[in-house]
Amino acid sequence: MPELRKDPVIGRWVIIATERAKRPSAYVPKVEQKKGGLCPFCFGNETHTPPEVLSYRPANTKKDTTGWWIRVVPNKFPALQVEGQPKRMGEGMYDKMNGVGAHEVIVESPEHNISIADMEEKQVEEIIWAYRDRCIELHKDLRFRYILIFKNHGREAGATLDHPHSQLIALPIVPKRVQEETAGAAKYYDYKERCVFCDIIHQELGENVRIVAENDTFLSFLPFASRFPFETWIISKNHESYFIDIQKNGVADLARILKQTLRKIKYTLGDPPYNYLIHTTPFETDATPYYHWHIEVIPKLTSVAGFEWGTGFYINPTPPEDAASYLAEIANGEAGSAQVIPVEAS
């Protein structure tokens, strides 16, 4: 069983894969990534994944057969195991826990060669509904304290399969970055009696120099102190602590702005690898006046990683104001947008 271990200095929990451990040879660069072969997320290959835990499909079709338009399955190689209770133990001065958790894959479309940037908005809505449905279901499991929804797009961003998919990890701990954000937001609230995220939204709308897109419910913008070039946040314009509290019109607006944002990034930067992740309030905390859920989109454009990891210190070579103006050159619309940089048809 995998193990959760806690850093004794700064208190960060880490998953250590104690089984299926990778040998040194696994890290030596391969000459070429294997192409082709069977895609377990395509129609007809449903038996190559663990049985589905959710799907959106016509009423007359059976589970684990074709016909679905969204399909959620347990990850075949999970980082955490779903059976058992999280038990905390000491090992001398160190702290650990057995690696209990859920690790699922949200297959975003039956189409193998498409990405959210080019999908119908309706389909993006369905992805968001699937995120929410799984959160609500897993929320019932009292072993879990946090659900992390994220997407790796492109090999360099960690995707091992090309077929469009997101992932979800339900955890018996709260990730460090989320803890820091809730603590920082609580501190700001303590002093100002205002939500720091609401204040950010207010200032961004007023200054209008870092905005990527906007609609009734959501704002997409590049943060003032962006760590990475073209880092973009999508946030609800109204104060909302929990992602799962999103309403029906909100889902449509989020689908639209998520697609617009990813489309602008794709056509400005030549379909770069990226990650996005949803930050929301941990289960154990009631809705608060200070924490505000949001999505962080992080294109992977620079390669200086270990340095940032080791210092928490980031050098961003493109000011967010400049990045915003480049992104603004790409039209929002459905039809083929002006492409600043030609992108190979994928």
Q: Which residues are catalytic?
A: 165
CB of 158 to a copy of itself, least distance (A): 3
CB of 30 to a copy of itself, least distance (A): 12
CB of 11 to a copy of itself, least distance (A): 6
Cα–Cα distance measured from residue 291 to residue 224, given in angstroms and rounded to the nearest whole number: 18
| Beta-carbon count within 10 A of 253 CB | 21
CB of 70 to a copy of itself, least distance (A): 22
Residue 283 one-letter amino acid: F
**Segments in 193-305 forming alpha helices (H):** 196-207, 248-269
Q: What is the torsional sign of CA 325, 316, 304, 275?
A: negative
Cα–Cα distance measured from residue 66 to residue 64, given in angstroms and rounded to the nearest whole number: 7
Q: Which of 58, 74, 137 is nearest to 106 (CA)?
A: 74
Give the list of residues 6+ apart from residue 302 with CB closer than 8 angstroms, or none: 228, 229, 317
CB of 48 to a copy of itself, least distance (A): 22
Please, what is the Cα angle at 299 between 293 and 328, to 5 degrees?
A: 85
Classify 165 as helix, strand or coil. Answer: strand
Kindly tell me which of 51 and 270 has the beta carbon lying closer to a copy of itself.
270
Kindly tell me which of 25 and 60 has the beta carbon lying closer to a copy of itself.
25
Cα–Cα distance measured from residue 57 to residue 126, given in angstroms and rounded to the nearest whole number: 11
